[in-house]
Amino acid sequence: MKRIRIGLLLIICFFPFSVFGESIAIIDNVNRLKVTLGCVVEDGQTMVCLSEIAKIFKAYMQWNPITKVVVLTKDKNTLNFSIGSPNVQINNRYYKMDAPLRLITGRIFIPLSFIVSNFANPFNLLIRWDKADKRLIIDSKETYVSSMKEEMTRRFPPTSNLLSKDAASAKDTVSATISPIKLTNRIYEEQVKNPVQEKSNSLEIMDSDGQKDSTSDNLAAQNSPPDSVRIMTIVIDPGHGGNDSGAVGKTGLLEKNVVMDIAKRLRFALQRALPDVNILLTRDSNYFIPLRERTRFANYKNADLFVSIHSNASYASKAHGFEVFYLSTEASDDASRALAAAENEVITLEKKDQSNNIDMIKLILGDIAQQEFIDESIELAELIQSIACENMGMANRGAKSAFFWVLRDAMMPAVLIEVGFLTNPFEENRLRSEEFRDNMVSSICDSIVAYNNKYEGKMGFTPKTQQQEQRSPKHQGSMAIW
């Protein structure tokens, strides 16, 4: 009896907060397998057996009981772990797990959260965690897209199936004019959006219960393209804000203030140039908004374009010029990759989501939408880049790609504009100038109007002629000097 008590005490000492007997499901769509895997919940972290995970991912596992080092290898990828340490080396990069690797009852356990967030790239897979059903879902890019498109087709019939019998004769004529922007946002609005209502100053997020979608009525009523496929809403996103100042110039000019002023001027200019288009800001004063909330706002407002405005920074004080970016997992060059990393650092200021209860259909629509709009995003980026640089005489650094979190979930064409380098004394001085900001706004406005006319031409509309000179208005009370 005494030995039993001592044994129980040892177990309590070594595993004070462990819960055994839990299990999760592994859904491997690549190999068409379903596996039930035992797990341990320790200090709130779900831990799974690393050797079992290695088998599922078809990785070779080496374990040295003397050095307590664990190595996983597959193809040209190597993952190095150490028992009792949260630090992990994947190829030449270092990561930190939410909990250290543990040796429990002779087996090695790894936090499930690390698998979800960091196993995708080295194994070239898409990994998702369904917390509600306790399922780890593994896909390749091919199986993911094909299976989700099939599911979307089953759940959300094509727009042509929604037309009334009276509109059947018009169906063939107008089917080519259905905008992928409107179609995707409509699916998102009708089938996916949660019935939530939030408000943070100018940022309002509301569902559309009670609002009638007039697309089908318009299609049934006429053979010409319906107004619902026009660009009707543009969201302008002034970067940073609040305790996130962004880049800082040598004389103290703050990026958050520069881009706020430019965004307000651009909204006013676009309201004059495109009076039928709703122009919205993600923020209208100095407060912080998490990156994902910015595109979430655009999605809930059914925006047709998303334009995020920033100013650049570089360790090289002579770096100068104007850049426009579109979203891609592959950066155009090392400088673009470094810039995206710097802009994404704001995530550290955001509160960590403790729920991890991610709506998988939203993620599915997001990924498909981004692929749907990549050509439009590139076209918009190139138009802004060429027109702005030509009008302002700035160095044309080219339209480029990089992975910016602020563009990640946008379900519409989306670009990020870097209006100049605050770390360059000459460009910092220019960005202080109200005249320079007006010229900048005028050039961006011209670019967006040109994109709108080109888009509407493709959709079968006659592009609107400009009734007013495309100039940003002079503001009463200068906001240019801080």
pTM: 0.53
Quick check: 234 and 305 in contact, CB under 8 A? yes
List, for residues 440-471, the tens digit of each pLDDT value. Answer: 999 999 999 999 998 888 777 766 544 344 44
> What domains does the chain contain, in order, with CATH numbers?
17-139 (3.30.457.10), 148-458 (3.40.630.40)
Task: Choose the weakest-confidence range: 92-96, 190-194, 239-243, 443-447.
Answer: 190-194
Quick check: 168 and 181 in contact, CB under 8 A? no
What is the per-residue pLDDT for 191? 39
CA neighbor of 227 nearest in space, from 163, 161, 179, 164:
179
User: Whole-angstrom Cα distance, residue 302 to residue 427?
Assistant: 35
- Whether 42 shows a pLDDT value over 90: the answer reads no
Average pLDDT over residues 46-54: 92
What is the per-residue pLDDT for 61? 93
Average pLDDT score over the chain? 75
- Whether 423 shows a pLDDT value over 80: the answer reads yes
What is the per-residue pLDDT for 269? 96
Structure-block tokens of residue 288: 């912080």
**105-106-110 Cα angle (round to 5):** 85
- Whether 323 shows a pLDDT value over 60: the answer reads yes
What is the per-residue pLDDT for 20? 56
330 backbone φψ class: left, alpha, beta (φ>0; ψ -120 to 50): beta
Give the 3-state secondary structure of residue 235: strand
**Phi and psi dihedrals of 346, rounded to 5?**
-60, -20
H-assigned helices in 124-280: 141-155, 168-174, 180-187, 215-221, 255-273
Contacts of 381 (CB under 8 A, 6+ apart): 324, 325, 326, 399, 415
H-assigned helices in 158-213: 168-174, 180-187
What is the per-residue pLDDT for 427? 93
Strands 278-281 and 233-238 come out as parallel
Chain CA centroid to CA 388, Å: 25
Name the more confident of 152 and 450. Answer: 450
- Whether 195 shows a pLDDT value over 60: the answer reads no
- Whether 198 shows a pLDDT value over 60: the answer reads no
Average pLDDT over residues 363-391: 78
List, for residues 6-21, the tens digit of each pLDDT value. Answer: 554 444 444 444 455 6
Average pLDDT over residues 405-424: 87
CA neighbor of 273 nearest in space, from 476, 473, 469, 475:
469
Task: Choose the weakest-confidence range: 53-67, 94-108, 356-370.
Answer: 356-370
Q: How confident is the model at residue 172 (pLDDT cuts 50, 70, 90)?
A: very low
